[in-house]
Structures are given as C-alpha cells and as structure tokens.
C-alpha cells in the first residue's frame, strides 16, 4: 500500500510539472519574431508645453524652456491629419499667446504632434479669480503696515491695510 501511494504521488507530481509548462505555451509563436514585433510597435511619445508664437493648419510653433541650454527656444511641431485636439475643436481655435500642451513623436528630427491640449480657465476658476484672469499681471508682494499709522507712506491707508510693494531685487 505504501508503494502504491508513493507511485501515485510521483505520477501526479510529474503530470503537474508538464501541465504547468503547457499552460504558458503559445501556439505558432516564434520567440524571435515576437520580440521584434514588440520593439517595432513601441512608439516613443514625448511631452512638451509652451506658449504659442505662431500657428497654421500645417504646424504650430511654441516658445518653450530648454532645461539643457537654460534658455527659452522656439520649437516647431508638424500637425498631422490624425492629431487630436483636446479642449478645442480644431487648430483654428488656437491663437498666439495661448498656453498648450503637446504630445509628439520625433522622427528624424521632425516633431509631429499626436495630441494638442489648450488649457482654458473654467467659469469656476474665473469666478474665484474675480472674473478677471490675466496671466500678464506682475506679481505684487504685500507688506504689512504698522497699525499705529506712523509710517508716512501709509498715512492715507486704513488701519491694518496692506500696500503693494515692488518685488525684492534678485
């Protein structure tokens, strides 16, 4: 009886080992061709963003910051027939000085846009901002005024009010 049990265990263990390998087998797949097709299907999509300096139905030019050169540069992206436009209907809705994000592919030095998204200020954001959203406004730093009103520059301000001061020199 003991021999029968040991033989049964060995047979079931052997069958399980073969079944495990068969479960992961693929019919008609050549491992070399599968690896080659995986690498050829991979598309390297890059991301960038910037301010539109010019736009036409065929291409868009952005003013971007180049971190390698530590300066702003103008970059041209071709607009293909399959380019997707997010938050906008078409390239006609993009104007100079709009801020856009672009997903693109770089093929032999030619950057072709796959997706272009224009960031719009939503009505809720405009309401929070007082309805007057302006990117071009300079930052204003506020300085507290002494409550006793002894500061001559703030004599005409109400008690506890803050006055705008220029940004600190760098």
End-to-end alpha carbon distance in the chain: 91
Tell which residue, 42, 122, 109, has the closest CA to residue 76: 109
What is the domain range of residue 82? 45-118
pLDDT over 70 at 140, yes or no: no
Residue 100 falls inside a structural domain: yes
Residue 83 falls inside a structural domain: yes
Cα-based angle 20, 26, 28 (whole degrees, multiple of 5)? 145
State which of 57-66, 125-134, 140-149 shows the largest mean pLDDT. Answer: 57-66
pLDDT over 80 at 120, yes or no: no
Check if the beta carbon of residue 92 is closer than 8 Å to that of residue 98: no
pLDDT the model gives residue 1: 80
How many domains does the chain fold into? Answer: 2
Looking at the fold, whether 52 and 97 belong to one and the same domain comes out as yes
Residue 168 falls inside a structural domain: yes
Looking at the fold, whether 112 and 147 belong to one and the same domain comes out as no
Task: Give the integer Cα–Cα distance in Å for 8 and 16.
Answer: 12
Looking at the fold, whether 49 and 104 belong to one and the same domain comes out as yes
pLDDT over 90 at 160, yes or no: no
Residue 24 falls inside a structural domain: no
> What is the enclosing helix (H) or strand (E) of 23?
helix 2-23
Taking the mean position of all CA atoms in its chain, how far away is CA 80?
20
Mean pLDDT of 127-137: 52
pLDDT tens, 33-45? 555 555 555 788 9
pLDDT tens, 83-100? 999 888 888 899 998 999
Residue 159 falls inside a structural domain: yes
Mean per-residue pLDDT over the chain, rounded? 76
Looking at the fold, whether 53 and 114 belong to one and the same domain comes out as yes
Looking at the fold, whether 111 and 146 belong to one and the same domain comes out as no
Looking at the fold, whether 110 and 166 belong to one and the same domain comes out as no
Looking at the fold, whether 55 and 110 belong to one and the same domain comes out as yes
DSSP lists the bridge partners of residue 72 as 65
By percentage, how much of the chain surpasses pLDDT 70?
59
pLDDT over 60 at 152, yes or no: no
Q: What does the CA dihedral 45, 46, 52, 56 come to, rounded to 10 degrees?
A: -30
Mean pLDDT of 108-115: 93
Residue 123 falls inside a structural domain: no
Other beta carbons within 10 angstroms of residue 52's beta carbon come to 18
SS3 category, 7: helix
Task: Give the integer Cα–Cα distance in Å for 85 and 75.
Answer: 19
Residue 3 falls inside a structural domain: no
pLDDT the model gives residue 13: 82
Residue 22 falls inside a structural domain: no
CATH of the domain at 76: 2.40.50.320
pLDDT over 90 at 4, yes or no: no
């Amino acid at each position: 009886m003991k021999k029968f049990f040991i033989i049964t265990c060995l047979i079931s263990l052997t069958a399980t080992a073969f079944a495990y390998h068969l479960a992961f087998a693929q019919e008609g797949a050549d491992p070399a061709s599968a690896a080659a097709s995986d690498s050829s299907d991979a598309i390297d999509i890059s991301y960038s963003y910037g301010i539109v300096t010019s736009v036409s139905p065929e291409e868009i030019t952005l003013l971007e910051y180049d971190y390698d050169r530590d300066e702003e540069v103008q970059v041209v992206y071709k607009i293909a027939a399959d380019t997707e436009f997010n938050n906008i209907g078409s390239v006609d809705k993009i104007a100079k000085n709009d801020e856009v994000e672009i997903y693109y592919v770089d093929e032999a030095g030619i950057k072709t846009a796959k997706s272009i998204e224009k960031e719009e200020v939503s009505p809720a954001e405009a309401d929070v901002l007082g309805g007057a959203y302006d990117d071009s406004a300079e930052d204003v730093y506020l300085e507290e005024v002494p409550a006793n009103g002894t500061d001559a520059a703030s004599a005409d301000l109400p008690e506890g009010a803050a006055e705008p001061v220029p940004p600190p020199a760098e």
